[in-house]
Chain A
Amino acid sequence: DTAVSQTPKYLVTQMGNDKSIKCEQNLGHDTMYWYKQDSKKFLKIMFSYNNKELIINETVPNRFSPKSPDKAHLNLHINSLELGDSAVYFCASSPQGDQPQHFGDGTRLSIL
C-alpha cells in the first residue's frame, strides 16, 4: 500500500541522454516536491508544486523540468544529462499546513 512511489528505482544512463522519473502519491496531498540527495547525503529542494503553483529553486539548471499531469503525479524530466547529475532523487508529498512530508524511496541515477 505504497503512499509515494517513484519509478524507476535505479537509472543508469550515458551523458547527454534525456530521462524521466515518475512520481505518484495516493495520499490525496495538495503539494508535491522533488529533492536531490548528493553523495554527502545533503538534501536539496529542487521543485515544489502546490495547486498548480510551481516553485523552482533558482540554483537548479533549466535542464531539469517538472511536469504535473494531475494532483497525484509530479514527474521529473532531465535533458542532456551530465556527470554531476548522479545522485539520488526523492519525491515527497504533504498536505497543507503543519503536516510532515511523505517521501518515496528514491531513484538512484548514475551517469556513465
Chain B
Amino acid sequence: AQSVAQPEDQVNVAEGNPLTVKCTYSVSGNPYLFWYVQYPNRGLQFLLKYITGDNLVKGSYGFEAEFNKSQTSFHLKKPSALVSDSALYFCAVRDAAGGSYIPTFGRGTSLIVHP
C-alpha cells in the first residue's frame, strides 16, 4: 500500500523569505515522488520528481525538494518566496516496486506568500 501525508493545510510566508511545504510518504518498496502546483481554475502542473540518484532535486520556478529516506520525507523548498508562488501544492507518491501505477496524492497545502 502507498500513502502520502501533507501535514499542513496552509503555509504562510513573507515574500523574500524561504519556504518549506512538507510531505511524508509510505510505500512498500522504493518511492517515485512528485510535486505538483495548482493555480486557481487550472489543472495540476508538474514541478519536480525524485526517482533515484541525488537526494536534492531541482525543478521549475526555482523550487527544489530533498528526499530523505530515513525520515520518509520529500519536502518542497524555495530559498526566496514570491507572491506569485501563492497556490495549492500537491505531493504524490508511487511505489516503484510495481503493483498499481496510479500515484497517490496528498490532500494539498495552500501556500500564501504575503507582500
Contacts and interface: CB of A to CB of B under 8 A. Distances in A.
B34 A55 contact: no
Given A41-B88, A43-B108, A100-B49, A33 B44 contact: no
Interface residues of B, number: 24
Contacts of B88: 41
A98 interface: yes
Q: Interface majority SS on A: helix, strand, loop or mixed?
A: strand
Given A41-B108, A42-B108, A103 B45 contact: yes
Interface stretch (B12-20, B61-69, B77-85, B97-105): B97-105
Given A105-B43, A106-B43, A96 B108 contact: no
Contacts of A50: 101
Interface residues on A, range: 20 to 34
A104 interface: yes
A41 B40 CA distance: 11
Contacts of B94: 98
7 contacts: A33-B102, A41-B38, A41-B88, A42-B108, A101-B44, A101-B103, A106-B42
